[in-house]
Amino acid sequence: MLPEQADILWTYMTLAYTLFAFYVFGNVVQHCRENERVNGKLWGGIFGVFAVISFFETVHMFDLVQGEQITFMFQYQVLTVLAILLTWGIFFKSQDIQNQSPPIIRAFFFWSTVSICLAGYTNWLPQQRSDPPPKAAAVSEDLTMEEFVEMGRVIVFGAKQVAGQKSIGKGQCPLCHTFDPGDHIGRCPNLFGVQERSEKKKDEERYQTHPMKIGDPEPATGIVKGTPDQVPEEYRRAGSPDFIGEDYLRESLMCPTCYVVKGYGNDGDTKSPMPVISKPPISLSPVELNAVIAWLQSKDTPGEFANVTVPLPTAGSTAEEAPAEDEERPVFVTGNEPIQDMINTLGCPLCHTIPGVEGAMGALGPVLHEKTNAPARMKDPNYKGSAKNTKEYVKESILNPSAFVVFNEEAGEAYPDGLMPTTFSEMLSVQALDKLVDFISQTEAPPEG
């Protein structure tokens, strides 16, 4: 079943339950009117309360994501309906109105049971989005700078921006960065004004010497700091070998550790926690990387492209690159993927070092050694979450990261709250979440030596 269909089923069931609760209320009131000896206030009150509870449950249901809906449905709504049915039966019998519950009760009971079984069964099946295949976005001859910048914006934020939700595209930048003045999530610089800053970099003393000197190669990426003519050929800028603002931006993306913004690095600002954007898992192609730079250079002056120095791509050079091919597709994992692919798709390695996951060296969040971390967290006097065992703790951390904000012993302060995305429940099928939780619960420090 598709998530959309599941949503429709839940919506239908939750509305049906509330309508039913109100119907029962009306029916009871009517019986009370017809039978003088029945205490109308008492029974009307009881069923009125049920109707109101059902109503609020339905309202609440609409605020939940699909993964939580099923739990809520079984834990609360179904119980409410069963309680209504039971009380309704008692009402009829005890007041001698009818000696057997009316057919509608039995019919409704049957209908609920069948639909619950059906829903449980379909939810248990792996879910998969059936989105249309990605459009091949070809770069045409007459691409304008405005369109190129828009391509960059889509790589950063994705094609579908949903109001009130943080939207994140293939480039993953908003996972860490903010872009509007005054907007901060901690640990990653706000990129407002980055174009202006980039122009002045080469004259800054800190840039020239920190954490390595201009002309030194950075070991992890092989990029030679501050020398645009040594950039790997596909990504290299044509023209003069002088270091310009564009080169700083390109270097920030391809070699984050070549220069670390003050206060935002690890190990005394000598290592950047930012992923290399031209390498997996993000892997932007040269054209995509340039589109992002064009966007960075013009985003603070909407509609004005005078500051953009990257050239427009030529149709020939990009024929087989199909830039930004899949930004339309919402990220969704079914649980059928190998665990390593699942974790890469979700982006956990951008922030976490995870034993057993190749290349997961992220440094913005705690190292995931949950086999030992989780029990320790739950014993912490500040722990206010509701997990009772390691798996529950891991699940809680993934679905609701703010339930407990981990303290960073090395830095002597808490990890930033609100940095880890809260949207994973929308990206995971029930099966995928279980698989992820199983895996993360087993992670532990590799044996010494």
Residues that bind ligand HEC (CB under 6 A): 171-173, 175-177, 187-189, 191, 194, 197, 249, 252-253, 256, 260-261, 264-265, 272-275, 277, 292, 296, 346-348, 350-352, 364-366, 368, 370, 373, 377, 394, 397-398, 401-402, 404-406, 415-417, 419-421, 424, 436, 440
Cβ proximity to ligand HEC: between 97 and 328 the closer is: 328
Contact predicate 176/187, CB 8 Å: yes
Closest approach of Cβ 390 to ligand HEC, in Å? Answer: 10
CB proximity list for 290: less than 8 A, separation 6 or greater = 148, 152, 310, 311, 313
Cβ proximity to ligand HEC: between 98 and 372 the closer is: 372
Spatial separation of the C-alpha atoms in residues 128 and 46, rounded to whole Å: 43
Closest approach of Cβ 441 to ligand HEC, in Å? Answer: 9
Contact predicate 322/137, CB 8 Å: yes
Cβ proximity to ligand HEC: between 73 and 432 the closer is: 432
Cβ proximity to ligand HEC: between 11 and 340 the closer is: 340
Closest CA to 266 of 211, 213, 198: 211
Closest approach of Cβ 257 to ligand HEC, in Å? Answer: 7
Cβ proximity to ligand HEC: between 120 and 181 the closer is: 181
Closest CA to 432 of 301, 317, 334: 334
Closest approach of Cβ 263 to ligand HEC, in Å? Answer: 9
Closest approach of Cβ 255 to ligand HEC, in Å? Answer: 9
Cβ proximity to ligand HEC: between 26 and 418 the closer is: 418
Stated as kind and residue range, the H or E segment containing 288 is: helix 286-298
Tokens of 442: 């087993």
- DSSP for residue 211: S
Omega prior to 211 cis, within 30 of 0:
yes
Closest approach of Cβ 19 to ligand HEC, in Å? Answer: 38
Contact predicate 245/199, CB 8 Å: yes
What letter represents residue 191's amino acid?
L
User: Which residues pair with residue 360 across a beta bridge?
Assistant: none
Cβ proximity to ligand HEC: between 132 and 263 the closer is: 263
Closest approach of Cβ 29 to ligand HEC, in Å? Answer: 50
* Sequence-ordered alpha helix ranges (H) in 64-130: 66-72, 78-94, 103-124
Stated as kind and residue range, the H or E segment containing 407 is: strand 407-408
Closest approach of Cβ 296 to ligand HEC, in Å? Answer: 6
Cβ proximity to ligand HEC: between 275 and 313 the closer is: 275
Q: Taking the CA atoms of 194, 198, 204 and 205 in sequence, report the sign of the dihedral they define.
A: positive
